[in-house]
């Protein structure tokens, strides 16, 4: 078993700590080539953003976005170029990946950058997972597969730290006797991305924290209630478990530019239906022709006024999120980072 020491180690190995609010940068690998995404992330950190989230996509949502780099390579580069938390937000450990491979990737990243990495997991979307040509099940099965995968990952983390092999034979996965030979001193946090109350309760019971996306406040309050209930069922204190939010927004110097960016670069943000079964960016492109400006209402703030964005974000802060990762959907990343670092981030108060 080997470990590596980073140049800077945080006080403990919880990459995201409950009760310590900060704002991070969402590096959109669907929109930006990997080197540019790393440069933008480093620039955001230099302006006051803390930490980077990058999702595991095999394809962009729409062809206009134009990219889809391998997230684990990019996370390693981010580990070298930044000092904050780094996490896939999220990856699916169930279709393209066997959970053992996700566990190995996560353990290695945390061994390289101790105290900085969290493992964000989701149940998957056909856009990314169908490429292997396997059966694509209904949502309940996808969720059950995810939690079985989490069980395997946790077994590998705990068994490997204890110096013993583990195995698994379940409904969806098999793992023959093995261990992770490269492990950090403390296993990575496991956070699950969900927008559903049933999954939120299971997340509280089985995982270390929850990730969700911008939604009506009442819906998020319901998620938190179920998450807390699950945590208490497992004998855990939900106040010690991090709550993470990803927010998509559109800012530009004028309202017209902000709207044009949303319509062109992130029309999927205005699609008011589940997207988990759609397989192709070109199918999304056809659906995007039906998206109208009013479809973004309640789903994404589109404005040239930083105070409008600040007020919307403050409502999420007041709900109790420990970490909020921001994604400005336009290509105007540096201009947006500069503006928000001056007029939004300093004014957000826990």
pLDDT band at 1, cuts 50/70/90? very low
Check residue 6 and give its pLDDT: 34
Angle at 194 between CA 58 and CA 328, to 5 degrees: 60
Q: Summarize the confidence of residues 140-147 as an average pLDDT.
A: 98
Angle at 94 between CA 236 and CA 33, to 5 degrees: 100
Q: Each residue of 51-75: pLDDT tens digit? A: 999 999 999 999 999 999 999 999 9
Check residue 214 and give its pLDDT: 87
From the centroid of its chain, how far is CA 49?
Answer: 16
| 229 part of the active site | no
Which of 125, 129, 265, 339 is labelled catalytic?
125
| Sign, CA torsion 335/339/344/347 | positive
Q: Does residue 12 have a pLDDT over 50?
A: no
Residue 181 CB coordination number (10 Å):
10
Check residue 215 and give its pLDDT: 84
In 3D space, the residue among 83, 51, 8, 33 whose CA is nearest the CA of residue 246 turns out to be: 51
Q: Each residue of 70-101: pLDDT tens digit? A: 999 999 999 999 999 999 989 999 999 999 99
Check residue 13 and give its pLDDT: 58
pLDDT band at 7, cuts 50/70/90? very low
pLDDT band at 3, cuts 50/70/90? very low
According to DSSP H, which parts of the chain are helical?
A: 34-46, 71-81, 99-112, 126-129, 139-161, 197-206, 217-233, 255-265, 281-288, 306-319, 333-343
| 130 part of the active site | no
Residue with tokens 């927008």: 195
Check residue 14 and give its pLDDT: 84
Which of 30, 57, 129, 327 is labelled catalytic?
57
């Amino acid at each position: 078993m080997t470990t590596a020491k980073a140049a800077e180690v945080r006080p403990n190995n919880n990459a995201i700590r409950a009760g310590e609010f900060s704002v991070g940068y969402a590096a959109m690998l669907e929109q930006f080539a990997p080197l540019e995404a790393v440069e933008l992330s480093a620039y955001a950190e230099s302006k006051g953003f803390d930490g980077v989230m990058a999702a595991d996509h095999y394809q962009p949502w729409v062809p206009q976005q134009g990219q889809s780099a391998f997230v684990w390579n990019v996370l390693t580069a981010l580990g070298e170029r930044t000092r904050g938390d780094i996490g896939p937000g999220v990856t699916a450990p169930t279709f393209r990946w066997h959970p053992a491979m996700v566990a190995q990737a996560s353990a290695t990243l945390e061994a390289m950058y101790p105290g900085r990495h969290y493992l964000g997991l989701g149940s998957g979307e056909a856009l990314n997972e169908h490429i292997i040509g396997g059966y694509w099940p209904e949502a309940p099965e996808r969720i059950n597969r995810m939690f079985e995968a989490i069980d395997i990952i946790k077994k590998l983390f705990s068994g490997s730290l204890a110096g013993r092999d583990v195995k698994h034979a379940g409904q969806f996965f098999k793992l023959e006797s093995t261990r992770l030979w490269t492990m950090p001193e403390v296993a990575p946090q496991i956070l699950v991305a969900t927008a559903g109350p049933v999954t939120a309760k299971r997340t509280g019971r089985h995982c270390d924290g929850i990730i969700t996306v911008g939604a009506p406040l009442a819906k998020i309050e319901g998620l938190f209630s179920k998450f807390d209930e699950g945590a208490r069922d497992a004998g855990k204190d939900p106040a010690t478990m991090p709550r993470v939010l990803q927010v998509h927004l559109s800012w530009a110097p004028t309202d017209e530019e902000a709207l044009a960016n949303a319509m062109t670069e992130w029309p999927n943000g205005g699609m008011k239906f589940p997207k988990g079964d759609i397989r192709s960016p070109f199918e999304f492109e056809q659906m995007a022709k039906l998206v109208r400006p009013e479809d973004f209402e309640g789903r994404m703030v589109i404005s040239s006024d930083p105070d409008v964005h600040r007020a919307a974000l403050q409502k999420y802060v007041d709900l109790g999120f420990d970490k909020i990762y921001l994604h400005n959907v336009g290509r105007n990343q540096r201009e947006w980072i500069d503006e928000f670092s001056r007029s939004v981030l300093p004014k957000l108060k826990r």
